[in-house]
Amino acid sequence: MLYLQLLLVKLGTKFVGVKLGILGLGTVGTGTVQLLQDKTGRHPLLQEIEIYRVGVRSLDKPRAVQLPTDVLTTDLEAIVNDPAVDIIVEVIGGLEPARSLILKALSNGKHVVTANKAAIARFGAEIFTTANQSGVYVMLEAAVGGGIPVIQPLKQSLSVNRIHTVTGIVNGTTNYILTRMQTEGSNFSDVLADAQRLGYAEADPTADIDGLDAADKIAILASLGFGGRINLKDVYTEGIRQVSKTDIAYAEKLGFVIKLLAIAKRITPSSPSSPLSLRVHPTLVPQAHPLASINGVYNAILVEGEPIGQVMFFGPGAGAGATASAVTSDILNLAATLKTQRVTTEKLDQSQIGSLNPLLACGHDEYSQIAPMAELITRFYARFLTNDQPGVIGKLGTCFGNYGVSLESIVQTGFQGELAEIVVVTHDVPEGNFRQALAEIENLEAIESIPSLLRVL
Amino acid sequence: MLYLQLLLVKLGTKFVGVKLGILGLGTVGTGTVQLLQDKTGRHPLLQEIEIYRVGVRSLDKPRAVQLPTDVLTTDLEAIVNDPAVDIIVEVIGGLEPARSLILKALSNGKHVVTANKAAIARFGAEIFTTANQSGVYVMLEAAVGGGIPVIQPLKQSLSVNRIHTVTGIVNGTTNYILTRMQTEGSNFSDVLADAQRLGYAEADPTADIDGLDAADKIAILASLGFGGRINLKDVYTEGIRQVSKTDIAYAEKLGFVIKLLAIAKRITPSSPSSPLSLRVHPTLVPQAHPLASINGVYNAILVEGEPIGQVMFFGPGAGAGATASAVTSDILNLAATLKTQRVTTEKLDQSQIGSLNPLLACGHDEYSQIAPMAELITRFYARFLTNDQPGVIGKLGTCFGNYGVSLESIVQTGFQGELAEIVVVTHDVPEGNFRQALAEIENLEAIESIPSLLRVL
C-alpha cells in the first residue's frame, strides 16, 4: 500500500492502478470479471486492478456482469492499441483474431494474459519472440489444467530440476467419458451422447475426443518442462473413439484403468540433450499409479524429475470459476511484478529489456528434438480374435519372439461367437519392433482380427 | 543473459552473480550444494548463483561435497554480516541460533531462504516484520511438504481465491507408520520400532508422532492461505500414539482410512472474517477422498477455495533431493526477482521498500482469530467396550440424543473377552455437544471404557 500511497501523493487524487483490456466476455471472460468485481476477502492487491476496457462482439447481448457502458466496446483493435492499457487479457479463444490481437498488444508493450492453449501451442514461437523483443510477459496458467497451478510451478517452483517426464490427464471431457464407461460398463457412443446432453461434451466433440486439445496442452507443458520449442505436429495423437468397454473390462481384470494420457518424456533421462517423446493416446494405467484414481472431469499433471522425484498437481481442469482463478492470478502476478519495476521507471526502455524476470519470460528459442514413435520404448496391450486352433498362442509367441518382443502376460479370455479372444501385455519394447511383429501376426491364418491395440504405462 | 553481459561489460571481467551464504551443511545443505554444483540440463540462471560462504560447525568433518577451503567457515555470524552476501540460505534447522542468524541477516538487508518450519512457525511475526522493514524477502518453500510446490502456489497461483480449507498430510513419518499399520494389520509400537530401524522415524520420534511437526506446518499454511498470523499454541494437536490396529480395521470396514491430518478451515466459509479452526489429529478419511490414497512417506496438501474448488499438491514430503529442489528453486526465484530490480539500482534504499513484490512479501500483520475446539463442527468415530446388557445401544442413543448428537451408524462389532464392542459414527455435531454426551455416557453402568475417539472428515 505504501507504493500506492506514494503514487497517489505524486499524481494527485487520480487512482493509478493496473489497467486491463479484456478481450472476450464468454464463459471465462465473465468469470474473470466477476472475480475482479468481488474483491472482499481476496488479496488486497486486487484493489489496484482496473477493468478499463472489455471487447465484445455485440453490445446488445444480455450479460451476467454489469460494466459501465464506456468500458464495453466492439473495437478490439482499439483496446490493444490504447496506450492506457497495461495488460491485455485474451479470453476470446480460437486462432484468429486472437493471434493477431496478442501480437499487436505485445508489440505495443503490453503484457498478455491468455487462456488460449490452441493459439499458444501453434503460434508460441512468434508470440514469445515478440514478447521478449518488447520486454513484456505472456502469462498462460489458464491454458493447461484450468485452475490447477501447473504452469507457474513448472516455470518457478520446479525450475532447478532436470525434468524427465510430464504425464497428464489434461482433458476433462475424455476423462469424464472414460470414467463413466469404466463405472457403468457402457459403450463409448452412449456415454458421449449423454455427455453432450449434459454439457460435458461439445456438439462437435472432435477436439476433445480425438486428443487434439490434449496435444495442444502437452506441447505447452513440454515446452516449459524441457525448455525448448515444440512443433505441434510432432505430437503423436490418438483419441478415445476406439476404446471399447471390452478393453476397459479386460484392463480392469489385469489391474489397469484406461486413461487418455498426454505424455512428454525425455527418452534418455540421464542425457539432457536426448530427444523427447511426445504423445497423446489412451493408455492402460496401473491401478496403484497416482493418475489411475483421477476421475470424472478432474485433471492431474504428474511431473517427474531429478532431484524432485514425483510431484502431482490435481484439480478442476475446466469451468468458469477455476479458469478465472488462473487468469486472475496471472493478472495479479503481473501487477505484483510491475510494482517492483515501476517505482524506478514507468515504462521499461530498450536497454532494460534484459531485465525481464528470466523465470517468467520465455528463455528458449530452439526447437526440441522429437524421437519418432518407432523409437518409443513402451509396453503394449493387444487383443486378438483368433480361430480356435490348437497352437495359436504358440504362433503368437513365436512371432513376437522373432522381433524381440517379450510378453508379460498372455491370456485366452473368452469367446466372441466362434472366435477365441486372446489378450497380450508385453514388456517394454521399441514400438517399431512391436509393429513389425504385429504385421507378421496379422498375416497368420489363425488370426481373424486385432480389434485393440493400446499402450501401457 | 543480456543483463549479465551488460554487467560484465560495465564491471570488467569479474563475475557478478548472486552470492549465497549457506548456513549448515547437513542433509538439506549438502543436497542444495550438490544441486548448485551440478548445473548441466537445469535452468541457465543457475550459472549466476555463486556459493560464496558455507557455515559449518566443524571444518574437519568429512563432507559429501567438495568446496574451496575459503568458502567453508565456522563463523556463521561473519556470513550474515558479510556485505558481499546477497542471500542467506538457512538450513541448520532448530530454533537457535537459526532465529538470531535469520534476523541478523534480514536486518543487514539480505534475503533469506529457509527450510526451517519450526523457526518460522514460532518466530514468523518478528522474522517477517524485520524482512519488510529491510525491504527483503523470506522464502520458505522447503518448510512445508519437502519438494512439493505448495507455498508458492498459495502465495501466487491461488492468490485471488477465498481459501476455505487447507487439509494436509504433511508428516511423512506418521503417514508411513499409518500406511504400514493399515496394509500389514500391525501395531503402532511394532511399526514405529521398524521405522526407526529403517531410518523413517527418528530415535526421538516425538515431534513427528505427537503431531508437533504437522502443527508447525499447518500454522505456516494457514498463515499464507488465510492471510493472518497464527499463534502456534492455537493449533490443537493430537498425535497417532493412540491409533490402534483395531480402529484401523473397523475404519476400513466402514469405508475409511485413518490419516494424520493437519487442517486449517474457515468456520464459516462465506464470511471471510469468521474465525479459523486449526488442528492436527488422526482422522477417518472416506476411501474415495483424494487424501485417502496418499500412502507411505508421501505428502499431499488439498486446498479448497472459491472459485477454484479443490486442488491438491502431491509429492515427496522429505528427503535431501526433494527438499534441495525447493530450497534451490527459492534461491533461483530470488535471483530472478533481483535481476528485475537490480538493473536500475544495486541496493534498494528506504524509499523503495514499498516496492517489494506484494505476493512474495508477507502482507499481513494481524493475528487470525481461532475458534475453540468446542465450536468445531465435525463427525466423530467412537469405540465403546460395554457389558453385554440388553439395551446398551438404546442407552447410548439416548445420551447422544440428549445433546443433539445424531448418529450416522452404530454397530455392535464383536467381543473383547466378556465385553461387547460397539462402534459409533456420528453426523456433524459441535465438538462441545459431543464431549458433553460422552461425559454422561462414561458414567453409564453398562459402559466399561471408551478406548477410541477419533474425528471423521
Q: Does A325 touch chain B (CB under 8 A)?
A: yes
* A322 contacts B307? CB cut-off 8 A: yes
Contact list, A132 vs chain B (CB under 8 Å): none
Q: What are the grid coordinates assigned to A142, written together?
A: 489458464
Q: What are the grid coordinates assigned to A370, written together?
A: 522429437
* A340 contacts B319? CB cut-off 8 A: no
Q: What is the mean pLDDT of residues B17-45?
A: 96
The shortest CB-CB distance from A152 to any of B5, B156, B353 is to: B156
pLDDT at position B254, please?
95
* B355 contacts A340? CB cut-off 8 A: yes
Q: Does A356 touch chain B (CB under 8 A)?
A: yes
What residues of A act catalytically?
217
Q: Where are the domains of chain A?
A: 2-147+320-355, 151-316, 374-456
Number of Cβ pairs closer than 8 Å across A and B? 235
Q: What are the grid coordinates assigned to B268, written together?
A: 464459516
Q: Is the pLDDT of residue B346 over 60?
A: no
Separation in Å, CA of B161 to nearest CA in chain A = 6
Q: Is A157 exposed, middle or buried (0-12, 13-18, 19+ CB in 10 A)?
A: buried
CA–CA separation, A32 and A43 (whole Å)? 15
* A316 contacts B313? CB cut-off 8 A: no
Q: Does B173 touch chain A (CB under 8 A)?
A: no
CA–CA separation, B333 and A160 (whole Å)? 10
Q: Is the pLDDT of residue A339 over 70?
A: yes
* B309 contacts A160? CB cut-off 8 A: no
Q: What is the mean pLDDT of residues A90-114?
A: 97
> What tens digit of pLDDT does each residue of A365-384 get?
899 999 999 999 999 999 99
* A355 contacts B3? CB cut-off 8 A: yes
Separation in Å, CA of A177 to nearest CA in chain B = 19
* A319 contacts B315? CB cut-off 8 A: no
- Give the sign of the dihedral formed by CA B178, CA B184, CA B186, CA B190: negative
Separation in Å, CA of A133 to nearest CA in chain B = 12
Q: Does B47 touch chain A (CB under 8 A)?
A: no
Q: What is the mean pLDDT of residues A167-177?
A: 97
The shortest CB-CB distance from A322 to any of B309, B328, B329 is to: B309
Strand A111-114 with A162-169, pairing: unpaired
Residues 237-296 of chain A with CB under 8 A from chain B are 272-273, 290, 293
Contact list, B296 vs chain A (CB under 8 Å): none
Residue with more model confidence, A344 or B110: B110
Q: How confident is the model at residue B15 (pLDDT cuts 50, 70, 90)?
A: very low
Q: Does A158 touch chain B (CB under 8 A)?
A: yes
Q: What is the CATH number of domain A2-147+320-355?
A: 3.40.50.720
pLDDT at position B363, please?
86
Q: How confident is the model at residue B450 (pLDDT cuts 50, 70, 90)?
A: very high
CA–CA separation, A386 and A451 (whole Å)? 11
Separation in Å, CA of A103 to nearest CA in chain B = 23
Residues 398-457 of chain B with CB under 8 A from chain A are none
Contact list, B161 vs chain A (CB under 8 Å): 42, 325
Contact list, A342 vs chain B (CB under 8 Å): 355
Please choose, from the candidates B210, B270, B258, B314, the residue with its C-alpha nearest in 3D space to the C-alpha of residue B457. B258
pLDDT at position B345, please?
38
pLDDT at position B10, please?
39
Q: What are the grid coordinates assigned to A411, written together?
A: 491370456
Q: Does A219 touch chain B (CB under 8 A)?
A: no
Could you name the CATH architecture of B376-456? 2-Layer Sandwich (3.30)
Beta carbons of B359 and B156 less than 8 angstroms apart: yes
HEC profile of chain B: CHHHHHHHHHHCCCCCCEEEEEECCCHHHHHHHHHHHCCCCCCHHHHHEEEEEEECCCCCCCCCCCCCCCCEECCHHHHHHCCCCCEEEECCCCCCCHHHHHHHHHHCCCEEEECCHHHHHHHHHHHHHHHHHHCCCEECHHHCCCCCCCHHHHHHHCCCCEEEEEEEECCHHHHHHHHHHHHHCCCHHHHHHHHHHHCCCCCCCHHHHCCHHHHHHHHHHHHHHHCCECCHHHCEECCCCCCCHHHHHHHHHCCEEEEEEEEEEECCCCCCCCCEEEEEEEEEEECCCHHHHCCCCEEEEEEEEECCEEEEEEEECCCHHHHHHHHHHHHHHHHHHHHHHHCCCCCCCHHHHHHCCCCCCCCCCCECCECCHHHCEEEEEEEEEEECCCCHHHHHHHHHHHCCCCEEEEEEEEEECCEEEEEEEECCEEHHHHHHHHHHHHCCCCEEEEEEEEEEC
Q: Does B325 touch chain A (CB under 8 A)?
A: yes
Beta carbons of A93 and A115 less than 8 angstroms apart: yes
Strand A72-73 with B236-237, pairing: unpaired
Q: Kindly report the backbone phi and psi dihedral angles of residue A411, in degrees, each rounded to the nearest multiple of 5, phi listed first.
A: -130, 130
CA–CA separation, A221 and A262 (whole Å)? 10
Residue B206: how many other CB atoms lie within 10 Å: 12
pLDDT at position A417, please?
83
Separation in Å, CA of A35 to nearest CA in chain B = 8
pLDDT at position B365, please?
86
* B156 contacts A333? CB cut-off 8 A: yes
pLDDT at position B301, please?
98
Instruction: Give Cα A303 to chain centroid, integer Å.
Output: 13
Q: Is the pLDDT of residue B2 over 60?
A: no
pLDDT at position A8, please?
38
Q: How confident is the model at residue B115 (pLDDT cuts 50, 70, 90)?
A: very high
Q: What is the mean pLDDT of residues A339-343?
A: 63
Please choose, from the candidates B194, B224, B195, B220, the residue with its C-alpha nearest in 3D space to the C-alpha of residue B208. B195
* A161 contacts B42? CB cut-off 8 A: yes
Superfamily holding B2-146+320-355: NAD(P)-binding Rossmann-like Domain (3.40.50.720)
Give the lowest-confidence range in A109-113, A352-356, B274-278.
Answer: A352-356
Q: Is the pLDDT of residue B6 over 50?
A: no
Please choose, from the candidates A249, A257, A261, A279, the residue with its C-alpha nearest in 3D space to the C-alpha of residue A375. A279
Q: Does A374 touch chain B (CB under 8 A)?
A: no
Q: What pTM value is reported for the model?
A: 0.93
Q: What is the mean pLDDT of residues A235-249?
A: 97
Beta carbons of A309 and B147 less than 8 angstroms apart: yes
Residues 128-157 of chain B with CB under 8 A from chain A are 141, 147-149, 152-153, 156-157
> What tens digit of pLDDT does each residue of A267-315 get?
998 888 899 999 999 999 999 999 999 999 999 999 999 999 999 999 9
Beta carbons of A149 and A128 less than 8 angstroms apart: no
Beta carbons of B53 and B71 less than 8 angstroms apart: yes
pLDDT at position B359, please?
94
CA–CA separation, B213 and B277 (whole Å)? 18
Contact list, B3 vs chain A (CB under 8 Å): 354-355
Q: Is A272 exposed, middle or buried (0-12, 13-18, 19+ CB in 10 A)?
A: middle
Arithmetic mean of pLDDT over chain A: 92
The fraction of chain A above a pLDDT of 90, given in percent, is 85
Q: Is the pLDDT of residue A354 over 90?
A: no
Q: Does A183 touch chain B (CB under 8 A)?
A: no
Give the lowest-confidence range in A235-239, B211-215, B259-263, B440-444.
Answer: B440-444
Arithmetic mean of pLDDT over chain B: 92
Residues B104, B155, B217, B265: which is the catalytic one?
B217
HEC profile of chain A: CHHHHHHHHHHCCCCCCEEEEEECCCHHHHHHHHHHHCCCCCCHHHHHEEEEEEECCCCCCCCCCCCCCCCEECCHHHHHHCCCCCEEEECCCCCCCHHHHHHHHHHCCCEEEECCHHHHHHHHHHHHHHHHHHCCCEECHHHCCCCCCCHHHHHHHCCCCEEEEEEEECCHHHHHHHHHHHHHCCCHHHHHHHHHHHCCCCCCCHHHHCCHHHHHHHHHHHHHHHCCECCHHHCEECCCCCCCHHHHHHHHHCCEEEEEEEEEEECCCCCCCCCEEEEEEEEEEECCCHHHHCCCCEEEEEEEEECCEEEEEEEECCCHHHHHHHHHHHHHHHHHHHHHHHCCCCCCCHHHHHHCCCCCCCCCCCECCECCHHHCEEEEEEEEEEECCCCHHHHHHHHHHHCCCCEEEEEEEEEECCEEEEEEEECCEEHHHHHHHHHHHHCCCCEEEEEEEEEEC
The shortest CB-CB distance from B316 to any of A41, A44, A309 is to: A309
Q: What is the mean pLDDT of residues B55-61?
A: 95
Beta carbons of B395 and B444 less than 8 angstroms apart: yes
Instruction: Give Cα A26 to chain centroid, integer Å.
Output: 20
Taking each helix axis as running N to C, give the angle between helix B188-198 and helix B172-184, from 0 to 180 degrees, rounded to the nearest 10: 120
CA–CA separation, B27 and B160 (whole Å)? 36
Contact list, A322 vs chain B (CB under 8 Å): 307-309
Contact list, B353 vs chain A (CB under 8 Å): 2
Q: How confident is the model at residue B74 (pLDDT cuts 50, 70, 90)?
A: very high
Q: Is the pLDDT of residue A9 over 60?
A: no
C-alpha dist (Å) from residue A452 to A283, A441, B391:
12, 14, 60
Q: Is the pLDDT of residue B5 over 50?
A: no
pLDDT at position B245, please?
95
Q: Is B436 exposed, middle or buried (0-12, 13-18, 19+ CB in 10 A)?
A: middle
* A339 contacts B307? CB cut-off 8 A: no
- Give the sign of the dihedral formed by CA B54, CA B56, CA B60, CA B66: negative
Q: Kindly report the backbone phi and psi dihedral angles of residue A322, in degrees, each rounded to the nearest multiple of 5, phi listed first.
A: -65, -45
* A333 contacts B352? CB cut-off 8 A: no
Q: Is the pLDDT of residue A1 over 50?
A: no
CA–CA separation, B54 and B79 (whole Å)? 8
Q: How confident is the model at residue A16 (pLDDT cuts 50, 70, 90)?
A: low
One-letter identity of residue A302: L
* B343 contacts A352? CB cut-off 8 A: yes
Q: Is the pLDDT of residue B428 over 50?
A: yes
* A343 contacts B359? CB cut-off 8 A: no
Beta carbons of A425 and A380 less than 8 angstroms apart: yes
CA–CA separation, B322 and A345 (whole Å)? 39
The shortest CB-CB distance from A341 to any of B35, B272, B340 is to: B340
Separation in Å, CA of A122 to nearest CA in chain B = 24
- Chain B residue nearest residue A338, CA to CA: B357
Q: Kindly report the backbone phi and psi dihedral angles of residue B398, in degrees, each rounded to the nearest multiple of 5, phi listed first.
A: -65, -45
* A332 contacts B315? CB cut-off 8 A: no
Superfamily holding A374-456: ACT domain (3.30.70.260)
Q: How much is the ipTM here?
A: 0.93
CATH fold of A151-316, please? Dihydrodipicolinate Reductase; domain 2 (3.30.360)
Q: Is the pLDDT of residue A263 over 50?
A: yes
Taking each helix axis as running N to C, give the angle between helix A320-342 and helix A27-37, from 0 to 180 degrees, rounded to the nearest 10: 60
CA–CA separation, A424 and A432 (whole Å)? 17
> What tens digit of pLDDT does each residue of A23-81 get?
999 999 999 999 999 999 999 999 999 999 999 999 999 999 999 999 999 999 999 99
C-alpha dist (Å) from residue B376 to A318, B234, B373, B453, B456:
33, 13, 5, 15, 12
Q: What is the mean pLDDT of residues B56-82?
A: 96
pLDDT at position B273, please?
85
Q: What are the grid coordinates assigned to A240, written together?
A: 478415445
Q: Does A313 touch chain B (CB under 8 A)?
A: yes
The shortest CB-CB distance from B272 to any of A41, A273, A316 is to: A41
The label of the residue with cell 524477502 reads B137
Contact list, A355 vs chain B (CB under 8 Å): 3, 339-340, 342-344
Q: Is the pLDDT of residue A348 over 80?
A: no
Q: How confident is the model at residue B4 (pLDDT cuts 50, 70, 90)?
A: very low
* B314 contacts A336? CB cut-off 8 A: no
Contact list, B153 vs chain A (CB under 8 Å): 149, 152-153, 157
The fraction of chain B above a pLDDT of 90, given in percent, is 85
